[in-house]
Amino acid sequence: MSLDDVRRYLIAYDISDDVRRTKVAKKLESYGDRVQYSVFIVDTRPAKFLRLRTQLTDMIDEGTDSVLFCNLGTLRANNRRSLDVIGCSRTITDHGPAIL
């Protein structure tokens, strides 16, 4: 997998329902690293990202819930310095899970 093909996404959610929130969290945990309670870093190819986005859309109530997607660029262009944390931080795997 070329680092030029892999993009880093920051994904955050605001979901009030416990059942939906748990399903979304478990789905995101299978794709990337949890960096805050409702914030994840996901390294993946654009096609896999679109699949994840579709799955999350099917899980939430678009009338009350929200999911924010931030494309942070290619993994090659990214590095640890692109994220700055004050206080206790969680570990982000160097290249995240390899999702092909």
For the chain, the structural domain boundaries read: 7-73
CA atoms of 100 and 1, how far apart (whole Å)? 8
For the annotated binding site, the residues are 14
Q: What percent of the chain has pLDDT over 70?
A: 78
What are the angstrom distances between the C-alpha of 9 and each of 18, 34, 60?
24, 12, 19
**What is the value of pTM for the model shown?**
0.82
Considering the four listed CATH numbers 1.10.357.10, 1.10.10.10, 3.30.70.240, 3.40.50.720, the one that applies to the domain covering 7-73 is 3.30.70.240
Binding site, annotated residues for Mg(2+): 14
| pLDDT at 100 (0 to 100) | 42
Kindly indicate the confidence band of residue 50, based on its pLDDT and cuts at 50, 70 and 90. very high
The whole-number pLDDT of residue 95 equals 54
pLDDT over 90 at 51, yes or no: yes
Q: How many CB atoms lie within 10 A of CB 64?
A: 11
